[in-house]
Every structure is written in C-alpha cells, then in structure tokens.
Structure 1
C-alpha cells in the first residue's frame, strides 16, 4: 500500500472512499450534503486547499483511503470498508503524528465507538463532548487530542 500526497486527479476517488466509509461506519448519521456535493467539495476545496493524503493500492488499482490534515487538526480519516482492520489506519495516524509532531486534535461522532477505540489506542484522549449543535450533521460529537 502506497501512502502519498493527493493530486487533483485523486479528488473524486478520495471523495468516493469518504462516501463508502461514511455509509458503512455511520449509518445512523444524516449527511447534510448529496454525493455530488461531497465530490465537488473534495475537488474544489479539500484536495487543493488542505494537506490531503491517499492510500493507493500497490498495483495502482485505486484509492482505498484518505486522510486530511489542516494545521494541527486531523480533519478526515476514512478508509474503504474493505480495508478496515488491516493496519492502514495505523499507518495514516503514524503519518499524521509525523506531520504534526507538536500534537493533533480531531473530532468524531459519539456514535462512532470503533473510532473512539482506534484513536484511544493511538494515544488520543477525549477532552470535549458536545450535543452536536456545532456541526452540520447536528450529531453529538467528541474532540480528541494527542500530545507527544
């Protein structure tokens, strides 16, 4: 598996990973944007404006993971459902810590218990819980922080 910076041509494939992952991991969370709006956001905002990384299958068969860093925030980490539990998320978090050596923070939904276990296993600590009024989904969330 190759982790590399995303190019503009990766935006739609990265968005599709996001869509598949979100649907599989968060089936009860209502998405406020259509699939096409998510794809446009990745194409027009995420990939050109943020430090976006993708995981590409070694044979070039496709993008199976995406991670977005925005300063000291791990903004997005989504894997194709077929690639969960195979160490790819661990590699992305190691890369995020390398890129943010002073520390990182992130948000995840409270209903996403597998994400909580994953981030806690990587040394992140829950520091804030909200009622969801501050996010587009209106879904209760939790902020995690990692400090070296």
Structure 2
C-alpha cells in the first residue's frame, strides 16, 4: 500500500468519513448497536465535528483511509473526539500518526472515551500513555455500551510511538 498523506478535512469529506466510521466500528465491535444512519453521521461530521473542531484526514490513492477529530470539551478539556481507520490500515502506524497530531496540538494532554469491549483500541491508547480515569455501565451512552474515560496528562519523557506496531 502507498503511504497515506495527511490533510485537513473538507466539507465534501463528510460522507466518505461517515462510511469509514461505520466500517471501522463494525470491524472493531461486531454487534454494536448503531443508532444513527450513515447520512446522520455524515451530517454530524460536517456540521459539528468539522465545523467546531480540528479534523485531519489520512488519504491514500485519493481515498480517505483514516481521520482524527480533536478539540476542547467544556467538561474534559482537550479531547480526542474521533479516531477511525479503515481496517486494512490497522497496526501500520497510521493511527499513531493521527494521534500524534492531536497530542501535539494539545501539548500532549488529551482525554477520550473508548467503548470498554474494544480491547484493541484500549491497548493502543494505553501504549500511547493514556490511563483509565473513569468508567460507566453504558446507561448514558447512545450505544448502551459500557465505556472508559482515558486521560493523558502531558507529554511522555520519551516517544512511545513505534511505527507499525499499533493502529
């Protein structure tokens, strides 16, 4: 596969990113209850995530293969809001690149929510210095899935990103 280039998201990316979002979630979390249609996800991406936050897209052969969205949350401060990759790009270093951009934008400090049964994502975030700060039984989530609040307080003393090992 050719390497992916990173660029800022554009409004015209919303539908492609919504498809990518749904594909990645289905592969990572079989049986996950999706409460929003692809069109609803695309609308939210265009009108909320891309309109209010920073979104970077990884593109290979002219197609989006991953994206990251991050910004400030009133309750949690700097927050990773979305990080999704096409399954064929998992464990090739692209997730680390996208996460690295979000971390750099916030001085190494980010929070995020992760569905508890997504063990691959949990390993990825823990590898990158995130620690568990809380959890829920899922009663307050759209999907009804227990989730975990992860935090990363500051830059690590050494770079733990090893290209190709994770995401």
Q: Which runs of 5+ in 2 are unaligned?
A: 73-77, 155-167
| Aligned: 1:41 with 2:44 | yes
Task: Output the CA distance in 1 between the equivalents of 2:108 and 2:129.
Answer: 14
1:94 aligned counterpart, secondary structure: helix
Task: Output the CA distance in 1 between the equivalents of 2:103 and 2:132.
Answer: 17
Q: Find the counterpart in structure 2 of residue 70 from structure 1.
A: 71
RMSD: 1.2
Q: Find the counterpart in structure 1 of residue 120 from structure 2.
A: 114
Shift of 1:102: 5.3
Task: Output the CA distance in 1 between the equivalents of 2:59 and 2:31.
Answer: 28
Structure 1 stretches of 4+ moved >6 Å: none
Segment drifting more, 88-97 vs 40-49: 40-49
TM-score, normalised to structure 2's length? Answer: 0.83
Task: Output the CA distance in 2 between the equivalents of 1:50 and 1:98.
Answer: 15
Q: Give 1:13's match in structure 2, choosing from 1, 11, 16.
A: 16
Richer in helix (by share): 1
TM-score, normalised to structure 1's length? Answer: 0.93
1:101 aligned counterpart, secondary structure: coil
Q: Find the counterpart in structure 1 of residue 165 from structure 2.
A: none
Task: Output the CA distance in 1 between the equivalents of 2:90 and 2:147.
Answer: 21
Q: Give 1:52's match in structure 2, choosing from 52, 55, 66.
A: 55
Shift of 1:45: 2.2
What is the aligned length? 146
Task: Output the CA distance in 1 between the equivalents of 2:108 and 2:42.
Answer: 31
Q: Give 1:145's match in structure 2, choosing from 148, 151, 167.
A: 151
